[in-house]
Amino acid sequence: MIRKSMLKRSALVLAAGSLTFGALVALDAWAQEAAPAVTPVPTPGPVAVVVQTPAANDPQAQLIKQGEYLARVGDCAACHTAPKGKPFAGGLPIASPIGTIYSTNITPDKDTGIGNYSLEDFDKAVRHGIAKNGSTLYPAMPYTSYAKVHPADVKALYAYFMSGVQPVAQANKATDIPWPMSMRWPLSFWRKMFAPAVAADAASTDNDPISRGRYLVEGLGHCSACHTPRGVALQEKALTDDSTAFLSGGVVDNFLAKNLRGDVTDGLGNWSEGDITAFLKGGRNDHSAAFGGMTDVVQHSAQYMSDDDLTAIAKYLKTLKPVDPNAKALAYDETAAKALRAGSDKSNGALTFIDNCAACHRSTGKGYTQTFPTLALSSTVNSADPTSLIHIVLRGAEMPWTKSAPTHYAMPGFDDRLTDQDVADVLTFVRTSWGNTAPAVTAAQVAKVRKDVGAAPQPAR
């Protein structure tokens, strides 16, 4: 939903910005395939942000507190904190098809961080994508979304990072991108073509939940960075809800960031506002559980948001029209459950499911509510693109641990146990059982994801 990707990240466009501008068009096939984009290394639990608490009579105290909250909404710590590193000191590796870059130190250290940034410098970096030295930032920094942030909120963020964060003397790491891919000047062309105009001062949205939700989703939440498909130059196909491409789903880091629109098969059409807020606050609901980059979003950002803001996001998302308004809602079918219990389905998919999946997800496909997610009528299962399912079966998945849902459940990976054909067969079984109607999965699709995610070689048979 909201972005880290391991990808709340618009860093898919790293490749685009690092190539010469004319070469961007040649990336079309790669872009449409949604090749592995970004692989930030996840941190093992919520980032412990160290805050310098201002004195009670400090006139800046409220502004700093507001900035701290907004930094949580923007999930700044998730990218700018390396595993076992100091908060906001940078150094998190972000892998792209052309090499690795490292997140920067955004603590107020004057030598290695942003301690010498003026408010104008800070604003140019956050909303315009322009560094203090005038160069264009890699779009791993989702400034195309942050352009929507109001100046007053930028001021609060600046106050927090300058006065509420501990300075850390840690030099930024150089990128591991070879020349000529490392040239930055083409990024300025990309920015001028695709970055929207920055927001001006605006009236408060506090009294209108839907407007507040739109502001959070389109702006600091940068949900579009992962949940909107990319175009030929790896730009987001839409940045606002004027287009049904906006938040209609996109592949990032070999996970499908789901369709957040009102589609009844693969979107949020069957989710209530309460389902959405429960998912954002606890990483799970009766329909699904967070996986991939969304785990980090919930763990580091969404669970700390106010109930009012989570409700605003939910209300706004429920206004988004479906991509396919003619799709019919799915209905549960118990045929597969009966066949599994009777032992009458001897297909490899059914047998693989019984041997490896049924203990948690049950013969009914309904799992155990908010413990082991349902597969029956799941929007993830019924997505046309099976990338997420293949990735999860091969490498496993973990739910986030949060204050409202502290129990941490994990699914093991089966990459060393199941062949590509086994995975294809069991997923095809899942995607066509209990009322699910998704296309079959092929061994070739599994083999590609196995290679892309660095899974173990398939076992010999």
Whether 93 contacts 183, CB under 8 Å: no
> For residues 229 and 251, what is the distance between their CA atoms, to the nearest angstrom?
7
> For residues 441 and 62, what is the distance between their CA atoms, to the nearest angstrom?
53
Which residues sit opposite 94 in a β-bridge? Answer: 101
H helix runs in 164-272, sequence order: 185-194, 209-218, 224-227
> For residues 189 and 251, what is the distance between their CA atoms, to the nearest angstrom?
25
CA atoms within 13 A on the CB side of 325: 3
> For residues 380 and 377, what is the distance between their CA atoms, to the nearest angstrom?
9
Binding residues for heme c, by number, are 76, 79-80, 223, 226-227, 357, 360-361
> For residues 199 and 148, what is the distance between their CA atoms, to the nearest angstrom?
5
Which residues sit opposite 62 in a β-bridge? Answer: none
CB atoms within 10 A of CB 343: 10
Candidates 37, 66, 36; CA nearest to 51 is: 66
Whether 154 contacts 123, CB under 8 Å: yes
Per-residue tokens: 396: 């496993």
CB atoms within 10 A of CB 241: 19
Q: How far is CA 34 from CA 92, 226, 236, 327, in A?
A: 22, 11, 12, 25
Axis-axis angle for helices 420-431, 443-452 (nearest 10):
120
